[in-house]
Amino acid sequence: MANFENITVEREGSIATITVNRPKSLNALNSQTLRELTQAVRESADQRAIILTGAGDRAFVAGADISEMAPMSPWAAREFSELGHVLTALIEDLPCAAIAAVNGYALGGGLELAVACDMIFASENAKLGLPEVSLGVTPGFGGTQRLVRLVGKLKAKEMIFTGDMVDAKTAYDIGLVNAVLPREQLLPKCKEIAAKIATRGPLAVARAKRLVERGYDMPLRAANRQEAESFALLFDTEDRREGMRAFVEKRPPKFTGK
């Protein structure tokens, strides 16, 4: 693993925990941090699950780094936006599950990072929002597209147009997070979910993730055809044979990803 300045990476078995570690700036995303996250996520693609979180109790990621953004030209802003889009698309394309552990503020680029993950768990003190319009810009890392797919057009427009934050309970009520937990239980819960996913067939999880992500924007019949094809292809894997043997033999399966 590479040495990073703004993030830390911890591997426990087949689970990687990637932490944005800029607590003095509430873990704001500057260009270097985006590049480091992209490299760390890419290097963790062989894991069974990854957890993304932020250092300290105050913020997951409080947004993009405004001090870096303020002097940007339109061309520099486009390059900065592309860094965010590369990272969030990479998270969606990972063959393993990505879980966001949102502790405190998840604003702007922070929320955009979270909604690119497969699941979001929030601490009770979490505040989530896309405040970019209060700076005279739009979300730039995919927020206008992914938020609407999670919470629906009306709620997404309200959050984006007003720039208002929602608290953890509201985020849960509108389907933006999977669960709300006391701060001290947040990371243990995410690790528990990741550990459970790690016991499942990794090829099946990867295929299921791809089916959900790619099928969402497809006509139902075409998406269902893709599902049937993936279902059939998995029958030619050792994992499928092992999973069904283990079921018949009433024992836990030992998947190898083959």
Known catalytic residues?
Answer: 112, 132
Which residue in 11, 218, 18, 209 sits closest to 118, CA to CA? 209
Exposed, middle or buried, 216 (CB in 10 Å: 0-12/13-18/19+)? exposed
Cα separation, 220 vs 82, in Å, equals 30
Which residue in 194, 196, 200 sits closest to 97, CA to CA? 194
Listed in sequence order, the DSSP H helices in 49-126 are: 66-69, 74-93, 109-115
7, 16, 60, 149, 241 from 39: Cα distances, Å: 11, 13, 19, 27, 34
Cα separation, 121 vs 74, in Å, equals 35
